[in-house]
Amino acid sequence: MSAAGRLARQVACPGCGAPAEYSTANPWRPFCSERCRLVDLGAWASEAYRIPVKGEPEGERLPGEGDDESPAGPQ
């Protein structure tokens, strides 16, 4: 079977959930449109996607964090 004869894989658009063709024929894949792609890009740029972090245990700070002393440097 030729590549043209095969059906393109359909996936749910991560932006709106509409079916989107996942092939080289869709320049915005895996999104259904340029709009959904740009909305997602804007969310990344504004840091809307974050991984939750638990609070740091006491005593495990990086050097210079929370210290009253300023780091030594050229004077």
Which of the four CATH numbers 3.40.80.10, 3.40.50.300, 3.30.50.10, 2.130.10.10 does domain 8-45 have?
3.30.50.10
Q: What is the pLDDT of residues 19-73, one digit of tens each?
A: 999 999 999 999 999 999 999 999 999 988 888 888 766 666 666 666 555 555 5
Compute and round to an integer the Cα radius of gyration of the chain. Answer: 23
> Residue 18 pLDDT more than 60?
yes
**Residue 4 gets which letter from DSSP?**
G
CA distance 30 to 62: 39
Top pLDDT among 24 and 6 is at 24
Distances (CA, A) of 46 to 37, 39, 42, 50, 64: 14, 11, 6, 10, 28
Residue type at 59? G
Tokens 């700070």 belong to which residue?
Answer: 61
| 7, 19 contact by CB (below 8 A) | no
Q: What is the pLDDT of residue 53?
A: 84
